[in-house]
Amino acid sequence: MITLLEARNIGKRFGGLQALSDVSLTIRKGEVYGLIGPNGAGKTTFFNVLTGAYTPDGGEFVFNGSELPTGKPHKVVGRGIARTFQNIRLFRELTALENVMAGHHIRTKAGVWGVLTQNRFTREEERLTTERAYELLKYVGIERFAEVVSKNLSYGDQRRLEIARALATEPQLLALDEPAAGMNATETAQLKALIEQIRRDGITVMLIEHDVKLVMGLCDRVAVLDFGKKIAEDVPAVVQKNEAVIAAYLGGGKHAH
């Protein structure tokens, strides 16, 4: 299998807290990769470092064979990594459609001059952006809300919209931060189907999730973080039986501090 993303010895410290220490992991093309761990284990920090929101203190990411720039979110997106947030972060005043259109920003070119003159290139690009955004809304199943201002959407639909917006950046790796948080069983099942569809369409998915059932049912491989260190990485069935993992989740053992 081809490696898509390789994290090498990633470290990140916030003051006295070592949020990540020497985390190395490998994500293969086409898989769904789960990142789990107790609260405060450093999962979201890892996402933030990967997507350029934070600069790592050490280590590097190799994506598609070349090093990723650090601390420059727009360049990371340009290389093909998109993310969603643990607490939904939509553009509140924009409609669902416009949110997804905004997501297409990095794949479009129109500048001030083109916009002012409304030349053929700009108009064509705008039309394609609209159509593509609508297709993506259909893909995640909320096209009937295209014209609804996003802050008025229901919680589950907002989550879907955020995924559609991330997909609009045309990523190769989609990083989802707790996509099932706050969802009921039906919504979670729909989300699972959506993620499986995304994988079938050739996009690699990286997933932070607390819903163990979802992780075990969906992920090809899982890495476990605890206190900023990777304590396990394997297929779900093996990780489930790992003693260090059990100790981290249930407390006690050598990992109690």
Residues near other proteins (CB under 8 A): 51-53, 73-74, 77-78, 82-83, 85, 89-95, 97-98, 101-103, 105-106, 108, 110-112, 115-116, 118, 122, 125-127, 129-131, 134, 146-147, 149, 165-166, 168-169
Nearer to other proteins, 110 or 189 (CB): 110
- The distance between the two most distant Cα atoms of the chain, rounded to a whole number of Å, is 68
58-62: Cβ within 8 A, 24+ apart = 58/9, 58/10, 58/11, 59/7, 59/8, 59/9, 59/10, 59/11, 59/22, 59/23, 59/24, 60/8, 60/9, 60/10, 61/5, 61/6, 61/7, 61/8, 61/10, 62/5, 62/6, 62/8
Nearer to other proteins, 170 or 220 (CB): 170
In this structure, are residues 239 and 248 in contact, taking their beta carbons and an 8 Å threshold? Answer: no
CB of 95 to other proteins, least distance (A): 7
Handedness of CA 120, 122, 127, 131 (dihedral sign): positive
CB of 143 to other proteins, least distance (A): 9
Q: Indicate the Cα dihedral angle 137, 208, 223, 48, nearest 10°.
A: 100
CB of 80 to other proteins, least distance (A): 10
Nearer to other proteins, 100 or 239 (CB): 100
In this structure, are residues 43 and 56 in contact, taking their beta carbons and an 8 Å threshold? Answer: no
CB of 20 to other proteins, least distance (A): 19
CB of 231 to other proteins, least distance (A): 28
**What tokens were used for 183?**
């969802």
CB of 71 to other proteins, least distance (A): 11
Nearer to other proteins, 168 or 214 (CB): 168
User: Which residues, other chains included, contact 2 with Cβ-Cβ below 8 Å and sequence gap of 6+?
Assistant: 28, 29
Nearer to other proteins, 53 or 247 (CB): 53
Which of 10, 20, 49, 61 shows the shortest CA–CA distance to 229? 20
Pairing label, strands 204-208, 221-226: unpaired
Nearer to other proteins, 106 or 212 (CB): 106
CB of 33 to other proteins, least distance (A): 19
Nearer to other proteins, 169 or 204 (CB): 169
Handedness of CA 75, 78, 81, 87 (dihedral sign): positive
